[in-house]
Amino acid sequence: MRRYNNTRWIPLVMGITMVAVTAFQLFWLHSTYEREERSLEIRTNMAFRETVQDLQVARFKLNPPQADTLVPVVPGKTDVRKPVDEDQKIIALVNVIRERFNDSVRAGRMFEKEGEHNPRRNRLIRLMYDMDAAQDSVRVPDIIKAFAEKQVQQNIEVPFLVQRFLRDRQSQKAYNEVTLGLIHPITYRIDVYNTQDYVLRRILAPIFLSLFIVGFTLLSFILLYRNLLRQRRLAEIKNEFISNITHELKTPIATVSVAIEALRSFNATMDPTRTREYLDISHNELQRLSLLVDKVLKLSMFEKKEVELKYETLNMQDLVEEVNTSMRLQFEKYGAEVSMHQEGDTHLEGDRLHLVSVIFNLMDNALKYSQGKPRIHIQNTDLQDAVQLRVSDNGIGIPEEYHGKVFEKFFRVPTGNLHNTKGYGLGLSYVAQVVEKHKGNIRIEQGREGGSSFVITLPKKPA
């Protein structure tokens, strides 16, 4: 049992491990959430910048009036068209600026004729004013509409707000802002809000993975700890069984040894009465020893599925009377009152040997665990398709929390004294095995005036 002494530390270790696993998963999810937030911010700013620039290009009339995505490449007779790519847009923008600059140069010559003293400055100012005129035509509603369409395309649908304001030249530019114009720069800014739902949808898979890992780890720890407690309990039951069975084996052996020694040393053979007494004592003790070995062997055979029932037509009432007759001396020794009652036809098909052993075990337990003067009542009842056997006593009873456990091998109800009542924790386990093999069921009921009632229901015909 030394290896089980440290089990009290196992829940603490498991708890610390679960806290560590949960903390790691929370940290990982938090990092994933922040990463998705940054990714959303970058994608939103890039999409906003592209939207404004596209509108700016459109205001310079880089695209033909017929279609936004096609430009004529052969004028005159043919109308051959092809898609506009990014390089062509840049080249077109440069051409437009060059043409505007040439126009500004021609206008500057007119200014020069009129007496303008700095023609280069005038041309530059004229160009800047012309470009500002194009920027002023980019309206906020157009940006909102175009950006909403781009959101759908890129699957980043989140609420947003677009603002337009005049920007101070010395102020630092933010990533979510786009400034247009030269003489009078205009800044457009986008702000996204209520992004939690979008980000959470993006990290649903990691969330479910973390929940699965934490839940699976917790379930594994619970099952492991339960199995460990079960193993510990089995070890305790095994030790208790070894202690009990050692005591039970040594008692009949010692008694028989003493009886034989008395016959040899004290000339008991000259006294027929004393000789018969010693022989009866030896016979009873050897019978007890044989019964113990028989219980262990039968239970082992049932667990290994090596038992084949030999069905025959039986009368449960006859089996009860047979067991009562074989235990008459024990009943007389303890002054027990045994009553039997039968209702209806109690014939059924079953294995005679094992059913007799079942009745013997139940009546033996009723005798051993009775208080004062034992009173045992056995009743057989016809249930049409089944026969019910009820064995009741006035004993110490079985607490309700142990009703399911008493049928486990080696289990005995805790009494604080291992040898207060002789037993091995095998009888009721064997009874339950036989009843199950006959496709029946067994239950325990509390007696009205103390004690317990074991109720067995067996089908009349094998399934």
Chain segment 107-154, per-residue pLDDT in tens: 445 444 444 455 555 555 555 555 555 555 678 888 899 999 988 888
Number of domains in the chain: 2
Write the pLDDT tens digit of every residue in 182-232. Answer: 666 788 889 998 889 899 999 999 999 999 999 999 999 999 988 988 888
Q: Using the 3D structure, point to which of 140, 170, 201 is the last residue of a domain.
A: 201
19 and 137 in one domain? yes
Whole-angstrom distance, CA of residue 379 vs CA of residue 381? 6
| Any domain includes 179 | yes
43 and 166 in one domain? yes
Q: Using the 3D structure, point to which of 168, 185, 201 is the last residue of a domain.
A: 201
| Any domain includes 261 | no
Strand positions, DSSP E, 154-202: 160-166, 177-180, 186-192
| pLDDT over 90 (residue 348) | yes
Q: What is the pLDDT of residue 180?
A: 77
| Any domain includes 264 | no
Highest mean pLDDT among 150-164, 232-246, 405-419: 150-164
| Any domain includes 283 | no
Confidence class for position 298, pLDDT limits 50, 70, 90: low
In this prediction the pTM is 0.49
| Any domain includes 47 | yes
20 and 140 in one domain? yes
Confidence class for position 390, pLDDT limits 50, 70, 90: very high
130 and 6 in one domain? yes
| Any domain includes 297 | no
Q: Provide CB contacts within 8 A for 241, sequence distance 6+.
A: 410, 424, 425
| pLDDT over 90 (residue 25) | yes
Write the pLDDT tens digit of every residue in 59-90. Answer: 665 444 433 433 333 344 444 444 445 545 55
Say which CATH number the domain at 388 has: 3.30.565.10
Lowest-confidence segment of 100-104, 220-224, 297-301, 443-447 by average pLDDT: 100-104
186 and 317 in one domain? no
153 and 6 in one domain? yes
Phi-psi region of 384 (alpha: psi -120 to 50; beta: other; left: phi over 0): left
Whole-angstrom distance, CA of residue 397 vs CA of residue 387? 24
Q: What is the pLDDT of residue 455?
A: 92
Q: What is the pLDDT of residue 449?
A: 66
| Any domain includes 269 | no
Confidence class for position 366, pLDDT limits 50, 70, 90: confident
Closest Cα partner for 181 from 95, 59, 83, 72? Answer: 59
Q: Using the 3D structure, point to which of 201, 233, 266 is the last residue of a domain.
A: 201
Per the structure, the complete domain to which residue 113 belongs is given by: 2-201
| Any domain includes 414 | yes
Q: What is the pLDDT of residue 74?
A: 38
Question: 162, 139 in Cβ contact below 8 A?
Answer: no
Q: What is the pLDDT of residue 176?
A: 85
